[in-house]
């Protein structure tokens, strides 16, 4: 699986939504992405990429797109190409 596929899978499984709903998805846009869902999403991403996210990045993770940007930083080095 590519990193993008892994990333998408974490969203789809955590929030139980289809892939075509991911683009443009923001925190609290759907009921499933509340604080409880957010914690589950972060846990799923940390497991999938074997990383440990910083507090600042966890609370800055406000959308599907923002998350990609954060994970691509040097700290985690997850590339989405």
Partner 1 sequence: MKLWNLEQFSDKTALIDDAGTSVTYRELAGRGKGLADAVGRRCLVFSLCTNSIGSVLGYTAFLEHGIVPVLLNAHLERELLHDLLEHYQPEYVWLPESMQDEPQGMRRVYSDAGYVLLQNAHAGDTKMHPELGLLLTTSGSTGSPKFVRQSYRNIRANACSIVEYLKLDETERPITTLPMNYTYGLSIINSHLMVGAAVLLTDYGLMQKEFWKFLKEAEATSFGGVPYTYEMLERLRFFRMELPSLRTMTQAGGKLSPELHKKFAEYAKEHGKHFVVMYGQTEATARMAYLPHELSLDKYGSMGIAIPGGRLWLRDVGGKRITEPEVVGELVYEGDNVTLGYAECRDDLAKGDTRHGILETGDMAKCDADGYFYIVGRKKRFLKVFGNRLNLDELDRMVKRKFPDLDCASSGWDDHVEIYVTAEGKDSEIRSFVSEKTGLHMSAFSVYPVEEIPKNDAGKVLYRELEQSGPGSGQRVPSGL
Contact positions vs partner 1 (CB under 8 A): 16, 27, 31-32, 34-40, 42-43, 54-56, 58-60, 62
* Angle at alpha carbon of residue 33, lines to 18 and 53, rounded to 5°: 105
Min separation Cβ 81 and partner 1, Å: 27
- Residue 1 or residue 20: which is nearer to partner 1 going by CB? 20
* Angle at alpha carbon of residue 11, lines to 10 and 15, rounded to 5°: 120
- Residue 1 or residue 36: which is nearer to partner 1 going by CB? 36
DSSP for residue 20: G
């Amino acid at each position: 699986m590519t990193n993008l596929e892994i990333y998408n899978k974490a969203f789809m499984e955590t929030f139980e939504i289809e892939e075509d709903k991911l683009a443009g998805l923001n925190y609290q846009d759907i009921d499933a992405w509340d604080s409880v869902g957010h914690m589950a999403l972060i846990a799923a991403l940390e497991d999938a990429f074997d990383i440990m996210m910083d507090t600042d990045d966890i609370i800055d993770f406000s959308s599907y797109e923002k998350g990609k940007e954060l994970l691509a930083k040097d700290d985690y080095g997850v590339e989405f190409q």
